[in-house]
Amino acid sequence: MLNSFDYEVYYALKKEIEKQRETINLIPSENIVSKNVLKVVGSVFTNKYAEGYPGKRYYGGCKYVDMVEKIAIERACKLFNAEHANVQPHSGSQANMAVYFSVLKPGDKILAMDISSGGHLTHGVKVNFSGMFYKTSFYSVDRDTELIDYEKVREIAIKEKPKIIVCGSSSYSRTIDFEKFSEIAKEVNAYLLCDIAHIAGLIVANLHPTPVKFSEFVTSTTHKTLRGPRGGLILCKEEFKERIDSIVIPGIQGGPLVHVIAGKAVAFKEAMTEKFKNYQKQVVKNCKKLCQELKERRYRIVSDGTDTHLFVVDLRNKGLTGLEAQDILEKVGIITNKNLIPFDSLSPNITSGIRIGTPCITSRGMKEKEMVKIADFIDETLKNRDNEKILKEIRRKVRRFADEYPIYPE
């Protein structure tokens, strides 16, 4: 038993289980995998080395590894109606890296969304490999509407002539028009990479347009709205299959995480069900409701709303930074993350906002009426941030509330 052999790790695991059960997790990039995914990720598949691809391994004994990876590939292609899928990337970052390395040379130009407008580190930020290897130009949202101005993106693309245009985000809450991005990319003879790490589950449920038919490359994680194990995914046109596969292995990775690929296969099958699609619909309903409830409590929402599973709250009118709000909310058991707002004057370590999402709480069975309660908790906490007595009482209420919604109902 782990308890008797390694108490330190056992204790950390035990406390993490308690934390997940007793808190309200509003981080939009986190979710709760099914028991089936959890089981297969902790299976004996973790014992196997399998460098290469099905039928072309550098190791022997890969009969059943080949079987499970083929299943994952076939299901991913079917799920997204894609010509080819690579299920080996260990993360979304490595999925993006593989795409860049497959068609770009160091110094080539990338055009992507600015991080304060909702972009991601791997979309060309200087401190990331993508900003170190490539020259990046950025497009932002409109200052007034905080929406993507596609004509402005087009103007920048014509001026900068990027080799690849990246669309997709980590905190943009509105529907992305992939067809318009495709038109812009074609006009400047650029590849189009659509990063759907956050909205993959919504796309599967037809709650957001798919980019697959409009782009050469689509990347995703498998653990956010897709509700699978932590990992990455690449979808591409058949003509890029060999380039992508050879960059993933031997280009940037060695042995794939077979146990995680098995978990991806299970998650892809789950995503094909009507139950999963209904879950995604509830995620969006919950997000819109929570967003509206906070607006009614005089919180300013970036772009004034959401079409997806997340939104960003601008806290400047509340006299709080994102970091302060994140820390105060965590005291009472509400887990969020600080987040830049468009044209933020504060650093990414401080920020003027927090990012809120509903995938995790929806997985626990919460619906619109619970969003009202959560909005109350958030508002009461931030209003009474200097009153330890009240915060302790709110923490007690949050714990009791969260306990009503098990992570894994029996």
Question: Which residues are designated catalytic?
Answer: 49, 51, 195, 221, 224, 230
Positive or negative, the Cα torsion across 206, 207, 209, 212?
negative
Q: Alpha carbon 249 to chain centroid distance?
A: 24
Cβ neighbours for 386, distance < 8 A, ≥ 6 positions apart = none
Cα 405 to Cα 22, 197, 408, distances in angstroms = 9, 26, 9
- Going by C-alpha positions, the residue among 268, 274, 170, 273 that lies closest to residue 226 is 268
Interhelix angle for 150-160 vs 178-187, to 10°?
Answer: 20
**Residue 333 to residue 352: CA distance in whole angstroms:** 21
DSSP letter string, 361-396: HHHTT--HHHHHHHHHHHHHHHHTTT-HHHHHHHHH
**Residue 225 to residue 62: CA distance in whole angstroms:** 31
